[in-house]
Amino acid sequence: MSKLRVLSGMQPSGQLTLGNYIGALKNYVKLQHTHDCYFMVVDLHAVTVPQEPEKLKDQSEAVTALYLAAGIDPNVATVFLQSTVSAHAELGWLMTTLTYMGELERMTQFKDKAAGKESVGAGLFTYPSLMAADILLYDTALVPVGDDQTQHLELTRDLAHRFNQRYGDTFAIPKGYFPEVGARIMSLDDASKKMSKSSPNAGSYIAMLDAPDVIRKKISRAVTDSGREVKFDPQNKPEVSNLISIYAQCADKTIAEIEAQYEGQGYGPFKKDLAEAVVAALEPIQQRYAEIRSSGELYDILRQGKERAEAQAEQMLKRVKEKMGYVVL
């Protein structure tokens, strides 16, 4: 039996955070040996907010290198840059024409990102249609993401159904794949907001490439409530619950084990050990990252990924265009 197809991606819109790692990247690594995996760096999505050209290039390379450093094997999974496979932009347009304004207006990520801005690019608004195209181009069965992407994924499923109904069975209907713990890692300074790589406050996130001492400092300053009980209770203790989720994922412990370990001890020892657990999880990735960046192998890997991805994507795009009545030459 052929393996189920998996596809996901991250924006090179800043340094990848612990949220990106726990919410999605860890699952990429886990799924690659049992599934047929495509992992992209979604650089077309990144420009839905302004990006400096030099930074965009550097961050695209950095995200690719972090994929590999975290354990993705480019000989097993296909690793590529979204912009190098032009079928994404083309199907993105076709999906935009299939999407209703009301659907896009309901997207909470758009509302959050547009809030307080004087002018907002149209691409930020239509982003979910491009994301649907990314996924549908590859007959994707599973999409490993954090739960901030649930609403976008639901739209992808709706668009796939809509297209299939209108033009006949074409797209597979994808499902989300979420971590059991840490599907939404929250900001260290405000547990009502998700940890985000584009936050202007670097103290709100832990970047995967933060130095050990920076990680220790950020965790020691992370906001907690005024109590002292290390208890997982997202409703009443969102800050500590967030830290427990991070600990569980970095140290491979259960929530119950962590609660038992720190019973009656207060937040001090818990935060100290948490910082060491995060450092221990990220240090080997950081070492491999440095080796990969200096090895000069990235572009070869991305070229190989582009070829493999393009072969799949072009086939699907052709099928879609034929169904819609385009003359395909």
| Residue 194 appears among annotated catalytic residues | yes
Q: Round to whole Å and give the CA distance between 132 and 154.
A: 9
- Tell me phi and psi for residue 15, to 5 degrees: -80, 135
Interacting residues toward ligand AQP by CB under 6 A: 10-11, 13-14, 17, 19-20, 22-24, 145-146, 148-149, 184-185, 194-198
Smallest distance, ligand AQP to C-beta of residue 173, A? 19
Nearer to ligand AQP, 60 or 149 (CB): 149
* Residue from 26, 113, 218, 306 carrying the catalytic annotation: 113
- Is 13 annotated as a binding-site member? yes
How many other C-beta atoms are found inside a 10 Å radius of the C-beta of residue 285?
19
Q: Would strands 78-81 and 36-41 be described as parallel, antiparallel, or unpaired?
A: parallel
* Residue from 26, 57, 194, 318 carrying the catalytic annotation: 194
- Is 324 annotated as a binding-site member? no
| Residue 318 appears among annotated catalytic residues | no
Nearer to ligand AQP, 22 or 320 (CB): 22
Residue facing ligand AQP at closest CB distance: 23
Smallest distance, ligand AQP to C-beta of residue 179, A? 8
Beta bridge partners of 144: 177
- Is 11 annotated as a binding-site member? yes
Smallest distance, ligand AQP to C-beta of residue 183, A? 6
* Torsion sign over Cα 126, 128, 134, 139: negative
> Is residue 100 a contact partner of residue 18, using CB atoms and an 8 Å limit?
no
* Residue from 26, 30, 117, 197 carrying the catalytic annotation: 197
CA distances from 252 to 27, 205, 249 (A): 14, 20, 5
DSSP one-letter string for 72-91: --TTTSEEEEGGGSTHHHHH
Q: Round to whole Å and give the CA distance between 206 and 274.
A: 12
- Is 20 annotated as a binding-site member? yes
- Is 296 annotated as a binding-site member? no
Smallest distance, ligand AQP to C-beta of residue 14, A? 6
Nearer to ligand AQP, 19 or 305 (CB): 19
Residue ranges for the known binding site for ATP are: 11-13, 19-20, 146-148, 185, 194-198
Catalogue the active-site residues: 113, 194, 197
